[in-house]
Amino acid sequence: MTGCIFHDTEATLHDRRVFEIVEEAYNRKEKVLIYAGSEERAAEIDRFLWILRQESFIPHRIIRGHEVSSPVPVVIVTMEWNPLEAGILIADGHCSLDFAVGFEIVHEFVYRSSPEIHEACRSRYRAYRDRKILAEHLKNGVWRGAVPKK
């Protein structure tokens, strides 16, 4: 694994940030796996990938179970499975670190909805660092494909 970027944005901009990350990767012809924490969240992500920018279509789909599907560059899952062999993981929900380290780059998010949830994000950041994985905190910035620096 190369590194992890923690995106620290306002809650109202979270979906837009996910879209921007997906769009950047898609433009570079990279495969992206989005891990959603629930079926409901997977449906929300699917919806905003369709409608967020009318002029920009990003081929994607939700995959449930271990179904075989036609190849698309972006897949949304709710289980720890990488059917695309994608190099980029967007961890919209917290997956296990053992799963996350199988990707070249991981995008995590800082949530501040409560002190407990914010501390859980900090703990996750420290867990990456404890595994000697480069982690970067990106506050209100836009990711442009760069990986964390040593």
SS3 4: strand
Q: What is the Cα–Cα distance from 54 to 85, expressed in whole angstroms?
A: 28
pLDDT of residue 68: 64
In this structure, are residues 29 and 84 in contact, taking their beta carbons and an 8 Å threshold? Answer: no
Domains and CATH numbers, the chain: 3-139 (3.40.50.10110)
25 sits in the region (left: phi over 0; alpha: psi -120 to 50; else beta) called alpha
∠ at Cα 97 (32, 78), nearest 5°?
50
pLDDT of residue 24: 92
pLDDT tens, residue order, the chain (150 aa) = 789 999 998 888 999 999 999 999 999 999 999 999 999 999 999 999 988 776 777 889 999 877 766 689 999 999 999 998 999 999 998 899 999 999 999 999 998 888 898 999 999 999 999 999 999 988 876 555 555 554
pTM for this entry: 0.89
